[in-house]
Amino acid sequence: MPYLFTSESVSEGHPDKIADQISDAILDEFLRQDPTSKVACETLVTTDYVLLAGEIKSTAQVDVEQIARDVIRRIGYNNPDYKFDGNTCQVENRLHAQSPDINQGVERQNPEEQGAGDQGMMFGYATRETENYMPLALDLSHRLLRELAAIRKEGKEMTYLRPDAKAQVTIRYADDNTPEAIETIVVSTQHDEFDESEEKMLTQIATDIKTILIPRVKANLSADVQRLFTDQITYHINPTGKFVIGGPHGDSGLTGRKIIVDTYGGKGAHGGGAFSGKDSSKVDRSAAYAARHIAKNLVAAGVADQVLVQVAYAIGVAKPVGVYVTTYGTTKATNPSGQLLTDGEISAKVQQLFDMRPYAIVQRLGLQKPIFGATAAYGHMGRQPGQVSLNGNGQTAETFTWEKLDYVEQIKGAFEL
């Protein structure tokens, strides 16, 4: 019997995402000046106010207030009518030095023995469901909001748009777990005041979502996904009605409060640790990226159609306390006798291929570079690797390295695929 699965995303102007972007922009500037910086930067945003808090160990000198204002203006909060304006809001800095008790557990005389910055478990997931090995419902939710932001910044259509928005997509799956159709799309977008009645306003927004936003999103999708957009989709567009008051004036925002949006939209699993504002010594971030890298390369290599990888650490200890892999019964790899490999056998091979000590992860994925600002909105996973300028002198760093399919051939060799 068919079943439904739903995921949501939030825009770069959502209060929690504003906080994430400020935290990661501050992290990037510390890393740009001092790649060994240890940063845990938390941000709170509310009406005309930003609070920065956390712990830092670095030689860098960073104007964190200016960075916060730059991020807020870039997102689009530069109008006093929004009650949150990057030009005039109060920014309070309560960042302080990292505890030496924590630092002694992380740094070692031999860098390779660097301990994990915290205890906990992290997960990485991949599925053959989409071209970027992400769950379809989340991928479409991200695409809707990225395109909505692009329309807003172009300023040619839907000129009433304001930065805050959320989207949600429900997919109907067949019994064999393949997507059959899009069942429901929910879009809530902040907007200017309308001169017309609320009914006319809502009609206009709904019409524009269906005739402007949806076609632009569809145009960048494969034919297989485009066919899921049928005339039977149920749309809920600004279902509560008027949405003028939004952003931090409508709801306070905090770093790390959108961990499911940041990862897999409820598919797979999540260990509970947030990413933004944390340097790579915090395995909440670096090990989650490494686990995604493993899962994606396993699926791309043909080991299974769906993979979840868990890794767990003790604070101050370099070697993971455990690595777990499950393929949800989709394993394709076999042993020399032709029998399907067990998840335990796959896990053993993974541990031979991938060094999961924090230092090794940082080196493998290049995580001491200022590459994190781009991750803080529209998901940390499923993104296209690219380049970011380091200093304006032509030097660049590679972004989203955990999305590279650079271990496929090694995995195929190890699994004899």
146 is in an annotated binding site: no
38 is in an annotated binding site: no
Contacts of 378 (CB under 8 A, 6+ apart): 9, 12, 142, 145, 146
* Residue 395, Cβ density class (10 Å: 0-12 exposed, 13-18 middle, ≥19 buried): exposed
251 is in an annotated binding site: yes
| Distance of alpha carbon 183 from alpha carbon 188, whole angstroms | 17
**Which residues in 2-13 are b (16+ Cβ under 10 Å) and which e?**
eeebbbbbbbbb
48 is in an annotated binding site: no
Q: Residue 411 CB: number of other CB atoms within 10 A?
A: 23
Residue 416 · residue 332 · CB < 8 Å: no
| Distance of alpha carbon 204 from alpha carbon 185, whole angstroms | 17
Chain-centre distance for alpha carbon 242: 29
278 is in an annotated binding site: yes
16 is in an annotated binding site: yes
129 is in an annotated binding site: no
Contacts of 159 (CB under 8 A, 6+ apart): none
Phi/psi of residue 298, nearest 5 degrees: -65, -45
208 is in an annotated binding site: no
14 is in an annotated binding site: yes
257 is in an annotated binding site: yes
Q: One-letter amino acid identity for 35? A: P
98 is in an annotated binding site: yes
55 is in an annotated binding site: yes
Residue 192 region by backbone torsions, left for phi larger than 0, else alpha for psi between -120 and 50, else beta:
beta
- Binding-site residues for L-methionine sit at 55, 98, 251, 282
Binding site residue list for Mg(2+) = 16
Instruction: Show binding-site residues for ATP.
Output: 14, 164-166, 242-243, 251, 257-258, 274, 278
Q: Which residues are annotated as a binding site for K(+)?
A: 42
Residue list for the binding site: 14, 16, 42, 55, 98, 164-166, 242-243, 251, 257-258, 274, 278, 282
